[in-house]
Amino acid sequence: MRVSTKARMNRMFTNGGCLDVAIDHGVCNEPSFLNGLEDMAAVVDTLIAAKPDAIQMAYGPADLLQSRPEKDKPALVMRIDMGNPYNDRRHRVMWSMLQNHDDPIIGALEMDAACVVVNLFMLPDEPELFRQCVENISKVRAACHRTGMPLMIEPLVMLPNDVRGGYQVDGDADKIVTLVRLASEMGADIIKADPTENPEDFHRVVEAARVPVLVRGGGKDDLKTVLMKSAVLMGQGAKGMVYGRNIYQHDNPRAVVAALMAMIHDGASGEEAWDIYQRA
């Protein structure tokens, strides 16, 4: 008998919302992403104490969370693919592949994950990369269906590498909505979406998804700016966030988590979240 998708998703979504702290950046092969993740055991200790709803990790370090005895520890969201679009220089061959092609979610089942996450890259002039992502998702979707594992799809519309380097996010609402709709059509249970350039347009992303949408954080930014923007996105229908560098690269990750959790679960405004952060 399989565990139901709903039962697993309930581990992540408390009162309908979710803060998923992403620390799966080691699979990106980008040195700047690792600042703050040098001691993964310490990072996991800090986050367990901070009590977000979920922590997003790859298979290798997932035992640091799942071996812990706390009954109220965050749910595990497992990254099960990897790719090479994050470096400053464009690679001669761009690729995205599952970490286990033959049985893509076996590690997630072994580690009792609440969800798996896979990329859907849309990069200029990279149709083969896009095809690989679609193939990955198709394979994972079938495995998830057999086992009742929720599937989070991460649609990423990116600018050309020569614009700023490292394939920065293209915030064009039309492009994001179109790719989110594709993720929905492919059977996503959760969608992790980039914010639109104008946050007031994000309701269009939510409407296209028809499943819970969590906002992707991207690069580290001024925290007050992050909180204010996050409040607008929540007002547009987002159910929470998947933030990484804006939490783990901060001097006080626990305080940032407290502010975001208040916004997601208690309806705190951006200003109120900022006050919570400062008090924490």
Tokens read off for 122: 């849309």
pLDDT score of 215: 98
pLDDT score of 267: 97
Mean pLDDT across 213-218: 93
Mean pLDDT across 171-196: 97
Please name each of the domains of the chain with its CATH number.
5-253 (3.20.20.70)
Which tens digit of pLDDT belongs to each residue from 117-172?
Answer: 999 999 999 999 999 999 999 999 999 999 999 999 999 999 887 765 555 888 99
Share of residues in the chain with pLDDT > 90 (%): 84
Give backbone dihedrals phi and psi of 272, rounded to 5 degrees, phi first: -65, -40
pTM value is 0.95
Which of 154, 124, 148 lies closest to 136, judged by CA? Answer: 154
| Average pLDDT of the residues of the chain | 94
Distances from the Cα of 54 to the Cαs of 155, 161, 174, in angstroms?
20, 31, 30
Mean pLDDT across 20-27: 96
The band of 62, judged by pLDDT with boundaries at 50, 70 and 90, is: very high
